[in-house]
Every structure is written in C-alpha cells, then in structure tokens.
Chain A
Amino acid sequence: MQTVFSIGVDALAYGMVLFVISIGLSVTMGLMRVVNLAHGAFAMIGGYIASYAARDLGLGYAVAVMLAVVGTILIAIPVERLLYRRIYGQPELTQVLMTIGITFCIIGIANYVFGPTLKTIPTPEALREPVSLGFRTVSAHRLFVIGCGLAVALGLWYFIERTAFGVKLRASVDNAAMAAALGVKTQVVYAVSFAVAVGLAAFGGVVGAELLPIEPYYALRYMVTFLVVVSVGGAGSIPGALAACLLLGGIDTTGRYLMPEFGEFFFYLAVIAIVWLFPRGLAGRAK
C-alpha cells in the first residue's frame, strides 16, 4: 500500500512538471494553430536567464523566475513580429520548417554564449529540504511544482474561458475575418497569446529545471515529450492537457518502478492506445 502511495506522489509530481512545461505549447498549437517546435527553445531561454540571474547575479529565486518570464517574452516579441506572424494560417509543413530552424539557431546561440555545460538554477533553502509525508520523504521543490501546476491550470482556464480577452481570442481563432470585422484587433490578440504561451514556456523551463536540466540541447532533447503531451491531451484544451500529463506521468512512473528494463515501452504503448481511441486527443475538439 505504501508503495502505491509512493508511486502516486512521484507520478503526480512528474505529471505536473510535464504540464507546466507543455501547456504553453498546447495554447500555441490548439488556439493559435501554430506547430511551434521552438517551444522547448523558449523554455530553455527562460532557464538560462533564471540561471544567470540567480547564480551569477545572486538574485533571489522569485526574482529570477520573474526575470526569466519577462526576459523570454521580450526576446520573443521581435521573433513573433518578424517571423511567426508570417506563418499564422500557413500549412503545417511551413510552420514546422520555420520553427525547427529557429530551434537550431537558438541552440547554436545558447551554446556559443553560455557554453555546453549544464546550468543549474539555485533554489532557495526552503525548497531544497526533503519534506516528510509520513510514509516517505519528498523534496519540497516537488510540492512547489505541483502547486505551480495547479495555479497555472486554474489561472489559464479563467483567462481563456472567463475574461473578455479570452472571448476575443477564441473568436479570432474560430474565424479571424469575422472577428476582425466586429472590431477585434486580431494581430494584438495573437501577439498577446503568443507572449503568454512563451511566458508559460519560460516558467515551465525554470520550475522544471530540477528534472530537465538546462543545457543547449534541451530544446531538442525533450521536444518529443512536449508534443506527445499535447497530442494526447488534445491541443488547446487545458483539462485535456492536465489529464494527459497525470495519466502519462502515472504510467511512466509505475513502469519505471516495476519494470525499468522495459524503458519507455509503457509510455509509448499508452500513447498509441490513447491516440487510437481518441484521434484528436482526450479533450480535442472536432473541427
């Protein structure tokens, strides 16, 4: 029984890390219809900024997280204006080629500027302590990540479903021409949504850095994982992404505990089964 609880805690924590990192991609792919393979690259930029702020400048963790999110958005704005704006509504292949190109550029620049070594983001003392849950200990950082995941899920749901901006965003996505005719500034809506998605990527990159350490190849190394989460969850759906992360996190963690020599077998078996049963993902909307 203890083992079951123990696996449960690990699964929840891992699932939440996946969620925080992938949800931004779900927004770009589902709501903005852009296959943004450079998502991991933006997460990596966030990680580098936070690492630089916390390690080299000696700033606090909270400040570093904020700087990372703001800094990454600032970097992303000219990229959106100059590059992404051209590929909205283009065929997927064009989008994939463009964004994978951006990814390689960012990898090269990161390698040149920060060097090929691993970068850590020092966490505050309070997050480093192991916390006892009675039946086992778990690092405080994991609990923090679980909290962040829940906060992001709630906040984003409220933002998209309950605010005036969310209404405009959904309108622009469903029918850009009609929304523009009704006075919605679609370009601004897209720019803001892109900024939000990039900000989430950066946030995920920073808080997830304990599990997925920051180094130049981060952007490629975890790309498949992000894409799997989005396609299983259903692009653009927050509850879908959350369910996918918890489910995949659970299957992966259990598989690794019981039969580590099977590797990622169970993870991908689950992905195949889910995509077979729900071709649009768990909560994907029909077109």
Chain B
Amino acid sequence: MKTFTIAALAAALLGGVAHADTIKVGVVGPFSGPFALQGKNFKAGIDAYMALNGNTVGDDTIEIIYRDIPTADPAQSKALSQELVVKEGVQYLAGFYFTPDAMAATPLLEQANVPMVVMNAATSAIVTKSPYVVRTSFTTWQTSTPIAKVAFDGGTKKVISVVSDYGPGVDAEAAFKAGFEKAGGAVVEAIRMPLQTNDFSPIMQRIKDSGAEGVFAFLPSGPTTLGFVKAFNENGLKDAGVKFFAPGDLTQESDLPALGESALGLQTTFHYAVSHGSAENKKFVEAAVKAIGNPAELSFPSVGAYDGMHVIYKMIEATGGEQDAAKAVEAVKGLSWESPRGPVTIDPESRHITQNIYLREVAKAEDGTYYNKEIQTFEKQGDPGLAAAK
C-alpha cells in the first residue's frame, strides 16, 4: 500500500505521465453576468460533443473544469488560468470569449506545457502570442471581408461604415474598408460610436447626410444591436433604400426573436447559422438544444466550443494522454474534418480555422420564428487579418 501511495505521488508530481486516467480540460468563459448566454453556449457545445462522442479517449476519461469570468477582465483570466494549471492540473486550456482574456493567459502556456484552444475570441493577433494557441471560432476580419464583396457586387459603390468604438469594431471597420476598396468601392465616411450609445437617431442622421448608398455596421450583439436596427428602420433609412451590411454577430440567433420583423431581409456574413442544412449540423443542433434547454438560446459560440472539443480529443489521441503541448499542437496542424458549420481545416501556419463563410438573410420560418437563411457560400476562407497586420 505504501509503495502504491508513493508511486501515485510520484506519478502526480511528474504531471500524470502515461497512465493518467483522468485528463482535465479547463474552460474559462462568461458563465454568469451580462454575457452568461455566451458561456451557456460554450457549455452546450462541449456537452453536445461529449454526448455524441463519449467522455473517453482511449483509456482516458475527460473531465471539464469550468471557471467563470463574467466580463472581459485580463488579470482575472490570467489568475484563473494559472489556478487551473497549478491547482487543478489541467492539461488543456479552452474557452475564452473575449480577446483580452485569451491574450492575458497566453504567456502561461509554454512554461505550463499546456495548449490553448480558443473557442470564441475573434481578434486575429491572438494566435501569434504563443505557438500553443489553436483557434476554432472565427476572426472579425474573416467574417467581415466577404460582405464587402457582396456589397460591391450588389451595385453599392459608396458606403459609410459605422462601428462601435472598441477592438472588434475597429477590426471590422478595417476589414470592410480593405475588402471594399480592393473591389473598387469607396468608404465615404467612417464613424466610431461609443459603446454606451442608447439612442442611435443622431447616427442615422449622419448616415443620411453622408449620401452613402449603403451602411456597413458592427456592434456587439445584445441590446445595442436591437436599438441600432430599430433606429435604422424608424428613421426612414430602410425606406430610402439605404442598404445594410454587417457581419453575422448582429443577427445572432439568440437576438433574432427580439429583433423580429425589423431585421427581416438583413444580409450578414458569418461562419455559422444554426439553420445550416447538413446532417452533421442536424446532429449537433439536436444534442446542443438538449444541453442548453431552450432552442432559442442556441447561438454561434456553441459551434466554436463543439469544434474546440474535437481538436482537444484529437490532441489527446495523438499524445496518448501524455502532457506534451508541442506534440499536441503539431498533431492538429492541417487537421481537416466536417464541422456542423461545413468543412473546416486548422491552417498549419496560423493555427486558425479555415472555413466557409456564408452570406445569410434573415427570413421568417413557417412557424413564425426568424432564422438566418444561407444564400451564398464563400469557400475556404482563411484569416485575412494576420496578413493585413504584417
């Protein structure tokens, strides 16, 4: 018995080598507070993957440990990640809804010998912060670039861009501008709105006065989006024929019941729509809805989490359960599989996901609910943001 205890202790001290039977995955995300819905989606995606694929890889059992970080808080994110690594002994870090949270935890990875799988945070630069970062979500550049082509091809030549004044908003503005000017259009004016804007009427007046034929918008999903879209309709811009372009954050599924009629016909580009028509997605949505409870709450972070789990399972398979971050990351470089969102690949160079981006239109289903209807596919889109930053 005594020798066994010593052996177990030794094994634990060595970081659970070879026959570790439980592999822990630490997931950091917003599970309470104003963004709890997005955290809930993380959890639904993870639960769905484990329900469909079992909670074991080989002989090892996977255990998920959640840590809550209600709003973007880099210091807290770093502390929680460190605690997960040191105290809980996790072999993988995953989750991360906000860019600053993901960034703050990257310096830990190399020393801790832990890979990080980013399930949402959408700023291009995160993957450059450590060679152990893999991302299964999207970047704002990735989703905002195709809409510029859609706008230009649709006959709109002069566009005003209106974004919320924070990191992703500025990213979206730059991505759209780059894409649209390359196509031959002109961005006549670029407005950055404060995040705390409740009344968008003055912004609508600016749009009207600019004489642009279309508006490109980016706002964080939630209450502000609702106000913006309503103001767009009520101030007569829709009736005046001003076109509306945006990445899919604005029409995420969980906001659609509230946006309702006023969002009808809005075109956005994004990597995932819950309505995506494939067998993979049907299976995923069924399992994820079971996990989340209310089908109306299912939205894009769930698919990032689902694919993130796929990557982690593959990493565990490749390392045989041993803690070897370099080997694990190497194993998933170039990995391709059929995700609920369509065919995807982990780009070996950037470790970011290459995927289809879809043009969707908000449509009304027969049962009176609203959904994003995919109408065009841009295949195998990488992340143009990294190239632009160089």
On whether the beta carbons of A117 and B254 are closer than 8 Å, the reply is: yes
Query: For the side of the interface on B, what is the size category?
Result: 35 or more
On whether the beta carbons of A117 and B257 are closer than 8 Å, the reply is: yes
Q: Does A94 contact B (CB under 8 A)?
A: no
Q: Given known contacts A116-B36, A120-B258, A138-B234, is B165 in contact with A263 (CB within 8 Å)?
A: yes
A-B contact pairs, 19 of them (CB 8 A): A3-B205, A10-B201, A118-B226, A118-B255, A120-B226, A120-B257, A120-B260, A130-B239, A136-B236, A137-B236, A211-B199, A215-B222, A216-B34, A256-B199, A260-B191, A260-B206, A261-B191, A263-B195, A263-B196
Per-residue B-contact encoding for A246-265, CB less than 8 Å = 1, 0 else: 00000011101100111110
Q: Does B3 contact A (CB under 8 A)?
A: no
Q: How far is the CB of A164 from chain B (nearest CB, A)?
A: 39
CB-CB < 8 A to B297: which residues of A?
115-117
Within 8 A of B (CB), among A204-231: 210-213, 215-217, 221-222, 225
Q: Given known contacts A111-B36, A117-B257, A210-B230, is B202 in contact with A137 (CB within 8 Å)?
A: no
Q: How far is the CA of A101 from the CA of B44 in the complex (A)?
A: 31
Q: How far is the CA of A17 from the CA of B198 in the complex (A)?
A: 11
CB-CB < 8 A to B234: which residues of A?
130, 137-139, 141-142
Q: Does B52 contact A (CB under 8 A)?
A: no
Closest to B296 in A: A117
Within 8 A of B (CB), among A75-115: 111, 115
On whether the beta carbons of B36 and A215 are closer than 8 Å, the reply is: no
Within 8 A of A (CB), among B26-62: 33-34, 36-37, 40
Q: How far is the CA of A7 from the CA of B170 in the complex (A)?
A: 26
CB-CB < 8 A to A197: which residues of B?
none
Q: How far is the CB of B261 from chain A (nearest CB, A)?
A: 9
On whether the beta carbons of A213 and B203 are closer than 8 Å, the reply is: no
Within 8 A of A (CB), among B313-352: none
Out of B34, B194, B258, name the residue touching A263 (CB < 8 Å). B194
On whether the beta carbons of B199 and A14 are closer than 8 Å, the reply is: yes
Closest to A132 in B: B236
Closest to A261 in B: B192
For the complex of A and B, 8 pairs with smallest distance between CB atoms: A263-B194, A139-B234, A257-B202, A118-B258, A137-B236, A10-B201, A116-B37, A256-B202
Q: Given known contacts A111-B36, A130-B234, is B201 in contact with A14 (CB within 8 Å)?
A: yes
Out of A3, A117, A212, name the residue touching B258 (CB < 8 Å). A117
Q: How far is the CB of B285 from chain A (nearest CB, A)?
A: 18
Closest to B221 in A: A118
CB-CB < 8 A to A7: which residues of B?
202, 205
Which residues in A have some Cβ–Cβ distance to B below 8 Å? Answer: 3, 6-7, 10, 13-14, 17, 111, 115-120, 130, 136-139, 141-142, 210-213, 215-217, 221-222, 225, 252-254, 256-257, 260-264
Q: Given known contacts A10-B199, A211-B199, A217-B34, is B222 in contact with A118 (CB within 8 Å)?
A: yes
On whether the beta carbons of B202 and A253 are closer than 8 Å, the reply is: yes
Out of B194, B198, B223, B233, name the residue touching A215 (CB < 8 Å). B223
Q: Does B376 contact A (CB under 8 A)?
A: no
On whether the beta carbons of B209 and A3 are closer than 8 Å, the reply is: yes
Within 8 A of A (CB), among B254-268: 254-255, 257-258, 260
Q: How far is the CB of A134 from chain B (nearest CB, A)?
A: 13
On whether the beta carbons of B294 and A115 are closer than 8 Å, the reply is: yes
CB-CB < 8 A to B76: which residues of A?
none
CB-CB < 8 A to B226: which residues of A?
118, 120, 213
Closest to B37 in A: A116
Q: How far is the CB of B203 from chain A (nearest CB, A)?
A: 7
Q: How far is the CA of A141 from the CA of B234 in the complex (A)?
A: 9
Q: How far is the CA of A213 from the CA of B222 in the complex (A)?
A: 9
CB-CB < 8 A to B130: which residues of A?
none
Task: Please name 18 further chain A to chain B contacts, defined as beta carbons within 8 Å, in addition to the given A13-B201, A253-B202, sorted by A numbering.
Answer: A14-B199, A116-B297, A117-B37, A118-B258, A120-B226, A130-B239, A139-B234, A210-B227, A210-B230, A216-B34, A217-B34, A221-B223, A256-B199, A256-B203, A257-B205, A260-B191, A260-B194, A262-B194
CB-CB < 8 A to A217: which residues of B?
33-34
Q: How far is the CA of A225 from the CA of B199 in the complex (A)?
A: 13
Q: Does B197 contact A (CB under 8 A)?
A: yes
CB-CB < 8 A to B40: which residues of A?
116
On whether the beta carbons of A118 and B223 are closer than 8 Å, the reply is: yes
On whether the beta carbons of A211 and B260 are closer than 8 Å, the reply is: no
Closest to B205 in A: A6
Residue from A14, A17, A120 having most chain B Cβ neighbours under 10 A: A120
Closest to A137 in B: B236
Q: How far is the CB of A139 from chain B (nearest CB, A)?
A: 4
Closest to B198 in A: A211
Q: How far is the CA of A17 from the CA of B201 in the complex (A)?
A: 13
Q: How far is the CA of A221 from the CA of B220 in the complex (A)?
A: 15
CB-CB < 8 A to B37: which residues of A?
116-117
Q: How far is the CB of B115 from chain A (nearest CB, A)?
A: 30
Q: How far is the CB of B256 from chain A (nearest CB, A)?
A: 10
Q: How far is the CA of A217 from the CA of B34 in the complex (A)?
A: 6
Closest to B238 in A: A130
Q: How far is the CB of A210 from chain B (nearest CB, A)?
A: 6
Q: How far is the CA of A111 from the CA of B254 in the complex (A)?
A: 15
Q: How far is the CA of A155 from the CA of B255 in the complex (A)?
A: 37
Q: How far is the CA of A118 from the CA of B224 in the complex (A)?
A: 10
On whether the beta carbons of A213 and B223 are closer than 8 Å, the reply is: yes
Q: How far is the CA of A3 from the CA of B33 in the complex (A)?
A: 40
On whether the beta carbons of B258 and A264 are closer than 8 Å, the reply is: no
Q: How far is the CB of A281 from chain B (nearest CB, A)?
A: 22
On whether the beta carbons of A119 and B258 are closer than 8 Å, the reply is: yes
CB-CB < 8 A to B206: which residues of A?
257, 260
Q: How far is the CA of A263 from the CA of B36 in the complex (A)?
A: 27
Closest to B255 in A: A118
Q: How far is the CB of A19 from chain B (nearest CB, A)?
A: 14
